[in-house]
Amino acid sequence: MEDFNKLTNESELSEILEEIPDETLEIYVGTDPEGDKKERDNRILQWILPALFLIWDEVLFHIYVNVGIHDASILYIALFAAAFGLVYAAMIGLFADRVATVVSTILLGLLTLLFIVQTFYQRIFNNYLTFSVMGNAGDAKQFWRAGVRSLWARAPLVLILFVPIAAYVVLRRKGFRHQRLSTFKAATPLAIAFGVILMAFLVMTNGKSHRNGRYDVFFEEWQADRGVRENGVLVGVVQDLYRAATYHPEDVGKVVIVEPISITPPPISKPPTATPTPEPTHRPEHTPTPTPTPVDRSPHTLDIDFASLAEETDNAAIKTIDEYLASVEPVNKNEYTGMFEGYNLIMLTCETFTPLAVRRDLTPTLYKLVHSGMYFENFYTPYWITSTSDGEYTVCTGLLPDTQKSNSFSRSAENDMSGCLGHIFRGMGYTTFAFHNHDADYYDRDKSHPNMGYTFVAKGAGLNVTDQFPESDLEMMELSIPMYINEEHFHVYYMTMSGHMEYYWSDQAMGKKHQDEVKDLPYSEESKCYLAANIELDLAMKYLIEQLEAAGKLDNTLIVMTGDHYAYGLTDGQRDELAGHTQDKVFEMYQNHLVIWNPNIDPQTITKAACSLDVMPTLLNLLGIEYDSRLYMGTDIFSDSLGLVQFKDNSFITDYVRYNANNGTAEWLLGADTWDADYKSKYLETYKTIVRNKFNISRAMLNNNYYATIEKYLWWKHPELLTKGNQ
């Protein structure tokens, strides 16, 4: 007893008592009703506390980021958070109080950090951070200021995310202690967690029959952005780890061959509007026009028998690709085929180029390019998981980026990319260059762009632009044009930089350069800076046109430009103020301009639904280049095929419907609202399958180096094929 009285340290006594079985304590100490109740309360709290903490983080994160509750996602998020919390409780129950406290504190800290990181990443990029995207961390170091600003902008959410830690500290001070649980008692929260997850899956299975529903996204074709939005950040982490561990190139996913929809396409264009346009800088001498009747409407194909290739290969993934391509209806030639045959081509993917940057007063050259050539009324630039790089990849390859793993363009550097314009034009004897006014190795462009058939020149690799951020598009033009302007035939590709976020005078060198030109506009600093930065792009295009004209090359050069993504560096409110109205955030936000311009084109408005995926096949048709339309996931905009725009979440737009995959709603267009319900359902299900097929086949072509298997059939790689009548 004397030795026992010497134990005055509460923690030492607690440790000794924890080692004594409960039955022994009852014999020596007797029954203490108040103590039993406290122990019971402690145990219950130990079980439910982690679940409450995670539900708090997940639900409030979802509500704050998504500006409210819009569908049943909040239910799934709460259920999965509760399940994770119960697993957390079972794990903590394996330890005595001292160890459990340390482990719990570390876990709470890591979880809070996870949510905070997702907070600022989502705020900047409107995407959720995945492990594959983390590979770009070195490239993204320049965005640390944006990270700080985003945390400040979401300070209320950051404070909310610290509430569980604060609550845990308070509870500890009020006497809460962890108890080491028996195996049976530790298994109880695990069993409850299993039941909660099973409940969520049973509810989710009710939508299994609806393609692109929650079930498909969760179990078959995980998409980080939509998956996290519908199921929570923690499910996103688990799915991300699982997908990374089980990602196999030969896994093509579900590809279902569908019968084509029997619908007469609407007209692709309408007469030009009376909207005035700036006077052209060059007086037309002739006007390229569509081919007169009779029009060659034979299919755009090469001599490739995909069905036979499918029978000959032992590679399951290649076989699936061949079978799919054999089933695809080729796109036909049309009155626009060869409209610019023999022309030089200058193509640009412009950093954050959107309709918000096109103003007659501030960017008159951009305005002229958009409105005095072919005006595409329903053109979109979808946003992918690797922002600029994926946007560039889509334009340059005619394929969709991998939406399950980032860095498609970087990964393509190891492949045969014979289907790209650089290889095609080089095979035609053209000089081919690709220019970029930022670091050559950013996104591994120093590997991917030469692999497309270009001589690549960039900052640090032959282009000595001023070291500033962002770099000047005008300076890039001044340095690059002399490298090709005197060539007889050339194809040049540009990736511009001047319009890059962030839009603060202190951080945006091009915005600062043109600050005085926008200072009196009634907009926020960020909106004015965005406009100012794009003045530099406008001057670059003005200089390009002037130099082409001075060299006598303008008449015979086609200029094509579009953007890489929407202006995610601006807030919703800032984009709305520039647009002059509240933009629809599902579709309208991604609407963009496609410029196809030559000084001799008669203005016309193209109404067909189209996107950046369609740029390559459209150009091949306009330039009269023989190609196989089945190899590209996009289609020639001027063909008689139906228009299609697809987004990373499997939403899509056609000429007849806007379908939102997030909530399953459809807005019918061009009189399609009068179709009967069965036909509407068939139409939607067919296009859901088409969209999924295109994603899966694009990913499979990238992962399995598909062009290497058909390179021998490409005439621009093997000129001897031309003598066999294959052109």
DSSP per-residue codes, 646-715: E-TTS-EEESSEEEETTTTEEEE-TTGGGS-HHHHHHHHHHHHHHHHHHHHHHHHHHHTTTHHHHGGG-T
Q: How confident is the model at residue 367 (pLDDT cuts 50, 70, 90)?
A: very high
**What is the rounded distance in angstroms from the CA atom of residue 94 to the CA atom of residue 516?**
65
Residue pair 403/223 in contact by the 8 Å Cβ criterion = yes
| pLDDT score at 2 | 46
CA distance 222 to 402: 11
Nearest to 509 by CA among 469, 465, 539, 567: 469
- pLDDT tens, 139-189? 455 566 666 777 778 889 999 999 999 999 999 998 899 888 888 888 888
Q: Based on the domain organization, do 348 and 219 belong to the same domain? A: no
Name residue, tokens 């043109």: 514
CA–CA separation, 321 vs 694, rounded Å? 10
- In total, the chain counts a number of residues equal to 727
What does the alpha-carbon distance between residue 347 and residue 31 come to, in Å, rounded to a whole number? Answer: 84
Answer whether residue 653 is part of any domain.
Answer: yes
For residue range 265-284, what is the model confidence (pLDDT) as tens digits? 677 776 544 444 444 333 33
Contact 176, 44 (CB under 8 A): no
In a domain, 17, yes or no: no
Q: Would you say residue 138 has pLDDT above 80?
A: no
Domain match, 187 and 309 both: no
What per-residue confidence (pLDDT) applies to 141? 55
**Range of lowest pLDDT (131-135, 177-181, 559-563, 592-596):** 131-135
Q: How confident is the model at residue 195 (pLDDT cuts 50, 70, 90)?
A: very high
pLDDT tier for residue 484 given thresholds of 50, 70 and 90:
very high
How far apart, in whole angstroms, are the C-alpha atoms of residue 115 and residue 157?
10
* Together in a domain, 363 and 239: no
With 0-12 CB in 10 A as exposed, 13-18 as middle and 19+ as buried, what is 676? exposed
Instruction: Check whether 625 has a pLDDT greater than 70.
Output: yes
- Is 275 part of a structural domain of the chain? no
By mean pLDDT, which of 86-95, 142-151, 279-288, 620-629 is the weakest?
279-288
Residue 271 lies in a domain: no
pLDDT per position as a tens digit, 319-364: 999 999 999 999 999 999 999 999 999 999 999 999 999 999 999 9
User: pLDDT band at 286, cuts 50/70/90?
Assistant: very low
320 with 434, same domain: the answer is yes
Residue 281 lies in a domain: no
Are residues 555 and 647 located together in one domain of the fold? yes
69 — pLDDT class (breaks 50, 70, 90)? confident
Q: Give the sign of the dihedral formed by CA 412, CA 233, CA 245, CA 313.
A: negative
- Rounded CA separation 659/536 (Å): 37
User: Is the predicted pLDDT of residue 726 greater than 60, yes or no?
Assistant: no
Burial of 165 (0-12, 13-18, 19+ CB in 10 A): middle
18 is a domain residue: no
Query: What is the structure's pLDDT at 84?
Result: 96
Same domain, 228 and 298: no
pLDDT at 185: 80
Q: Which of 246, 263, 284 is the last residue of a domain?
A: 246
pLDDT band at 207 (very low <50, low <70, confident <90, very high): low
| pLDDT, position 293 | 65
Strand, coil or helix: 524: coil
Distance CA 573, CA 629 (A): 41
Average pLDDT rounded to a whole number, residues 507-530 = 97
Contact predicate 435/476, CB 8 Å: yes
Q: pLDDT at position 640, please?
A: 92
CA distance 609 to 379: 6
Q: Is 589 a residue whose pLDDT tops 60?
A: yes
| Residue 720 binned pLDDT confidence (cut-offs 50, 70, 90) | confident
271: CB partners within 8 A, 6+ apart: 604, 605
As a three-state string, the secondary structure of 469-488 is CCCCHHHHHHHHHHHCCCCC
Q: Check pLDDT > 80 for residue 262.
A: no
Q: What is the pLDDT of residue 558?
A: 98
Helix (H) or strand (E) holding 535: helix 525-550
Q: Tell me, what CATH number does 698's domain have? A: 3.40.720.10
Q: What is the pLDDT of residue 209?
A: 47
242 and 296 in a single domain? The answer is no
pLDDT, tens digit, 9 for 90 and up, residues 666-690: 999 988 999 999 999 999 999 999 9
Per the CB < 8 A criterion, the answer to whether 225 and 118 are in contact is: no
In a domain, 629, yes or no: yes
CA distance 559 to 568: 26
| Beta bridge partners of residue 659, listed in sequence order | 652, 666
Residue 1 scores a pLDDT above 50 = no
Number of domains observed in the structure of the chain: 2
* Residues spanned by the domain of 677: 292-722
Claim to verify: residue 217 and residue 325 sit in the same structural domain: no
Q: Is the domain of 205 the same as that of 322?
A: no
Mean pLDDT value across the chain: 88
pLDDT, tens digit (0-9, with 9 covering 90-100), for 424-451? 999 999 999 999 999 999 999 999 999 9
* Domain end call among 246, 280, 305: 246
Q: Residue 256 falls within a domain, yes or no?
A: no
Angle at which helix 73-92 crosses helix 224-231, to 10 degrees, equals: 80
Q: Are residues 709 and 588 in the same domain?
A: yes
Same domain as 581, residue 454? yes
Quote the pLDDT of residue 264: 66
* Intra-chain end-to-end CA distance of the chain, in Å: 103
Based on the fold, state whether residues 216 and 136 are members of the same structural domain. yes
| DSSP string for residues in 414-480 | TS--TTSHHHHHHHTT-EEEEEEEEETTGGGHHHHTGGGT-EEEEETBEE---S-SSPPHHHHHHHH
Q: Are 491 and 420 in contact (CB under 8 A)?
A: no
Q: Copy the structure tokens of residue 294.
A: 């009779």
